[in-house]
Amino acid sequence: MKKRLMVAALLYLPVLTALAETKVSERLLANGLKVLVKEDHRSPVVVSQVWYKVGSSYEPGGITGISHMLEHMMFKGTDKHPVGEFSKIIAENGGDENAFTGRDYTAYFQTMNKSRLEVSFELEADRMRHLHLLPDELKKELQVVTEERRMRTDDKPRAKMEEYFMAMAYSNSPYKNPVIGWPADIASYTVEDLQAWYQRWYAPNNATLVVVGDVEPEAVFSLAEKYFAELKTSTIEPLKPQTEVEQVGSRQMTVKLPAKLPYIIMGYKVPTLKTAADESEAYALEVLSGVLDGGSSARLSSQLVRGKQIAISASAAYDLSSRLPEMFVLEGTPAEGKSVLALQKALTDQVAQLQSQLISPDELARIKAQVLASAVYERDSMFYQALQLGMMETVGLGWKKVDEYVDKVNQVTAEQVRAVARKYLIEDHLNIAYLEPQALTGHSTPDNNGVAGSSIQGDLHHAR
């Protein structure tokens, strides 16, 4: 034990050296656009991201998924640049680009040679206020999004199960709706719906421009002034809170879909950094997540997948940066011959153990070492650095939370971890879904009986 702690102490030195250099420059333009710049001179490259405070959790019923649909339409032309030109210009300038939509944000990005940052600014500023929403383009893009939904959700049993699970677990929180939207809503968007959504949220005072790369902050600010300053400010109506009502008793559901393996998802309602009365609770939940699933030495792998061999896979997840109250999620596939109920018992036993016993100093030291090391590794990627800043800013926590993270996790004690386990991982706030596999009827197995090999498609979450 003593030895492990010493290692953690050693770890502190080099990491500090690296982390101390992180410096973000911030500028607020007169029209409300916030610009964040972080220098990284390791390559002559720049990442530029525009983040809008809008996502699926902003959407009322009937038009779920409209933020994502609008994200697709943002590539369909403006007064200055007709359909298709945006992507062609970026490509010809050696750029790499895309966009993604989440529950709490919509973001657009380009990665370019540092000399081309201006190209990205010109195009992003243009489509922030001057988008053309054309009926013919919407008609085609609706088909594309419908295909995207089929690919990501409809034909994937676990993704579909998760969709049903969220819809059950949340009573009134907009987190009950899928980011991509419900099928009937997707089928019914009109140009007017999209126009209204665009007008309501796409404005400089509802956006953050994040730039990370081989740049000088002052030069970036001047460039941002040049292209974005003229954009008009909007009145952004405050979002209704839609605060989730308290759950008063556990909920279970069975999802029957064509599949080969059973699966279980369990979710406890928990606060996030934004919603916790005391933010240390969110950091304690983060550490708790690491105790269960922070690597191959963590408890779920070590005790359930190896030890008891009750699961083929088991994982824990918690997103402390969500804008609204979240779930702490445990999920897994039972091993051959084991039932989902047996796996459920094993998972709840893990929770009970966290409530009754303190985690060991070794475990705590290991998690802190990993967090520190990750903070260095993350800096290998400009994109990821920009992502963190943009996300924290957009959910309303402020980018400074990124810099605080390592320190705050370091302050978490074993007692705090036990306390959040006792306070939040309680049965009355638990939601469970079971995937009950149905025959893949008529599935004509080829003679090699094989269904393996690597997937042809990647899985970039709700990207364009």
Partner 1 sequence: MRVSLIGIVILLFSPVVWSAAKIEHWQTPQGSRVYYVHTEGLPMVDLEVVFDAGSARDGKQYGLAALTSALLDTGAGKWNADDIAQRFESVGASMGAGVSSDMAWLSLRSLTEQPLLDKALDTLQTILAKPSFNEADFKREKNQVLAGLKHREESPGELASVAFYKALYGDHPYGHPGSGFKESVAPLKAEDLRHFYKTYYVAANAIVIIVGDLNREQAEQTAKRLLSGLSTGQKPAPIPEVVMPTQASIQNIKFPSSQTHVVVGEPGTFRGDKDYFSLYVGNHVLGGGGLVSKLFDEIREKRGLAYSASSSLAPLLRKGPFAVGLQTRNDQTPEALSVLNTTLADFINQGPTEAELTASKKNITGGFAMRFDTNKELLNYVSVIGFYGLPLDYLDTFQQNIEQVSVDSIKQAFNSHIDLRILQTVTVGGESASAK
- Give, as ranges, the residues between 176 and 215 that touch partner 1 (CB under 8 A): 214
State the nearest-atom distance from the C-beta of 25 to partner 1, in Å.
Answer: 14
CB 24 within 8 A of CB 399: yes
Q: Does 422 bind partner 1 (CB under 8 A)?
A: no
The window from 27-35, 140-148, 392-400, 422-430 that contacts partner 1 (CB under 8 A) reads 140-148
CB 203 within 8 A of CB 232: yes
Among 301, 322, 350, 416, binds partner 1 (CB under 8 A): 301
Among 36, 37, 70, 112, binds partner 1 (CB under 8 A): 112
Q: In what order do the strands lie in the sheet with 251-258?
A: 251-258, 430-438, 263-270, 326-334, 311-317
Count of all residues that appear for the chain in the document: 464
How far apart, in whole angstroms, are the C-alpha atoms of residue 226 and residue 18?
33
State the nearest-atom distance from the C-beta of 424 to partner 1, in Å.
Answer: 25
Number of neighbouring beta carbons within 10 Å of residue 154? 14
How far apart, in whole angstroms, are the C-alpha atoms of residue 37 and residue 27?
9
Q: Does 218 bind partner 1 (CB under 8 A)?
A: no
Catalytic residue of the set 21, 26, 71, 279? 71
Phi-psi label, residue 62: left if phi above 0, alpha if psi -120 to 50, beta otherwise: left
DSSP 394-448: HTTS-THHHHHHHHHHHT--HHHHHHHHHHHS-GGGEEEEEEEEE--TT----TT
Number of neighbouring beta carbons within 10 Å of residue 245? 9
Residues 152-181 that bind partner 1 (CB under 8 A): 154-157
Among residues 84 and 398, whose Cβ is nearest to partner 1? 84
State the nearest-atom distance from the C-beta of 75 to partner 1, in Å.
Answer: 8
3-state secondary structure of 384: helix
How far apart, in whole angstroms, are the C-alpha atoms of residue 201 and residue 158?
32
Q: Does 411 bind partner 1 (CB under 8 A)?
A: no
Residues 307-366 that bind partner 1 (CB under 8 A): 309, 312-313, 333, 335-336, 362, 365-366
Give the torsion sign (CA, 373, 376, 377, 383).
positive
Among residues 235 and 457, whose Cβ is nearest to partner 1? 457
State the nearest-atom distance from the C-beta of 204 to partner 1, in Å.
Answer: 25
State the nearest-atom distance from the C-beta of 296 to partner 1, in Å.
Answer: 4
Residue type, 365: A
Among residues 75 and 424, whose Cβ is nearest to partner 1? 75
Which residue reads 């996502």 in tokens?
Answer: 55
Q: Does 306 bind partner 1 (CB under 8 A)?
A: yes
Active site residue 71: yes
By C-alpha distance, which of 402, 389, 461, 396 is closest to 102? 461
Residues touching partner 1, count (CB under 8 A): 105
The window from 204-212, 232-240, 339-347, 436-444 that contacts partner 1 (CB under 8 A) reads 436-444
Residues 21-50 that bind partner 1 (CB under 8 A): 21, 39-45
Instruction: Convert residues 243-282 into a mask of x (bound to partner 1 by CB under 8 A) and - (unbound).
Output: ---------------xxxx---------------------
45-52/106-113 β-pairing: antiparallel
How far apart, in whole angstroms, are the C-alpha atoms of residue 289 and residue 300?
10
State the nearest-atom distance from the C-beta of 216 to partner 1, in Å.
Answer: 9
Instruction: Convert residues 54-93 into a mask of x (bound to partner 1 by CB under 8 A) and - (unbound).
Output: ---------------------x--------x--xx--xxx
Residues 374-393 that bind partner 1 (CB under 8 A): 374, 376-377, 379-382
Among 1, 2, 20, 249, binds partner 1 (CB under 8 A): 20
Residues with catalytic annotation? Answer: 71
